[in-house]
Copies of this chain bind each other. A is one copy, B any other.
Amino acid sequence: MGSQIGKTFKTTVFGESHGTAVGCVIEGIPAGTVLDMAHIKKRMSQRRPGQGTHSTPRQEKDSFEIVSGLVEDVTTGTPLTMLIRNHDTRSKDYSRTKDLMRPSHADFTGHVKWDGNNDYRGGGHFSARLTAALVFSGAIAEQLLKAMGIDILTQIESIGSQTAESLVIRPELESLRMAFDEKGIWISSEHEASFLEEVEQARSELDSVGGVVETIVTGMPVGIGGPMFDTIEGRLSYGLFGIPAVKGISFGDGFAFGAARGSEVNDAFGIKEGQIVTETNHNGGINGGISNGMPIHFRCVFKPTPSIAREQKTVNIKTMTEETLQIEGRHDPCVAIRGAIVVKAVTAMTLYDLIRTEAPHV
């Protein structure tokens, strides 16, 4: 709870966007793990803004330092702490708007929660910059899962009005695995252009746009998770809603279940190469909260970035008057794109923790 997630593989996140540093402490990495630093850096670079027209031009070096728990890239078994110093934090961007509550941001709720002491600069502890720590921890979890044969495939499924095919029906999924690994997240080559156009259109209209991220986890052993308050659905959601702008999560057929008949969406069991499998996977690889060996399949929706350049109505919390606000600063028009790599990270952290905690079949 709070800024911490995990039971056995436990990550405590700290920092503010425009403070001294952001980072995390990770407990529960097995002693003797040789951290794949190139992999970690690749993932962190994939999250980092400033890499294309579709993300904020703010330059974040994200050059991290590990200050505990590691001796010559080998983990010691004790807490591993990572630190990213903040640079290029133009705090003056924010000082003018200190008392103007940005609509659909956490300025107002944070102000009330912490009696006006919250670090308002750049979103403070709410900033998407904090997700760098999640991506760091997730990259380690991903490495540990991969060693068990578990892969997390994440794609941008839709941006605004444009939608790609679901991963579920892509026949070439297997052949894409390497590409997923290399690029971190997948953007269908057929749809990349229309996605970016959608983003560019929003930007040019001083606006932002939402999107949906789809994830498939292959290689999950049967029997992970549990009923009641150990469901894979509940655990993943708990973590994924920690990513700024995520507002909905669904598993398997998701909201389409509402209009479905049982006879259409029940997944019949069969036997294939001596293993029990299901012939379809409407349930997203989960029965009764527990993995059934099929791919775990879910979607997250990201709302449009609340920071838009248009003039908006708001309130001045100091003077308690209604005013208008024009957000300047540098912002992604579509947080779903960079958010996808964080979805992958939180998925890795959560599933690795579940497996390590329950462990029976791995």
A-side interface residues, number (CB < 8 Å): 149
Chain A 176-215 interface residues, beta-carbon cutoff 8 Å to B: 202, 205, 207-212
Identify which of A140-148, A165-173, A245-253 touches chain B. Answer: A245-253
- Whether a CB of chain B sits under 8 angstroms from the CB of A149 is no
User: Is A308 a contact of B262 with CB atoms below 8 Å?
Assistant: yes
Q: Is the interface of A mostly helix, strand, loop or mixed?
A: mixed
A234 contacts the other chain (Cβ, under 8 Å)?
Answer: yes
Which of A5, A255, A262, A292: most chain B CB closer than 10 A?
A262
**A 224-260 to B, binary, CB cutoff 8 A, 1 in contact else 0:** 0111111101110111111010111111111101111
Please choose the segment from A36-44, A45-53, A314-322 that sits at the chain B interface, where 4 or more of its residues have CB less than 8 A away: A314-322
Residue with the highest number of chain B CB atoms closer than 10 Å, among A14, A126, A251: A14
A79 interface hit (Cβ, 8 Å):
yes
Most buried by B among A212, A246, A257: A257
- Shortest Cβ distance from A151 into chain B, in angstroms? 21
Please determine whether A301 and B207 come into contact, CB atoms closer than 8 angstroms. no
Q: A68-B19, A308-B263 are in contact. Are A271 and B104 (CB under 8 A)?
A: no
Where the two chains meet, the residues of A that have a C-beta atom closer than 8 Å to any C-beta of B are 1-5, 7, 10, 12-16, 19-23, 25, 27-28, 31-32, 65-71, 74-81, 83, 101, 103-106, 108-110, 112-119, 124-126, 130, 158, 160-161, 202, 205, 207-212, 222-223, 225-231, 233-235, 237-242, 244, 246-255, 257-271, 274, 276, 278-279, 282-284, 286-292, 299, 301-308, 310, 312-315, 317, 320-322, 336, 359-361
The 8 A-B residue pairs with the shortest CB-CB distance, nearest first, are A106-B288, A248-B250, A31-B114, A77-B114, A109-B290, A208-B262, A234-B241, A237-B237
Q: Can you list 15 A-B pairs with a CB-CB distance of less than 8 A?
A: A1-B7, A13-B228, A15-B81, A16-B78, A21-B67, A78-B119, A106-B287, A125-B228, A160-B259, A207-B263, A210-B257, A247-B284, A250-B250, A262-B305, A270-B322
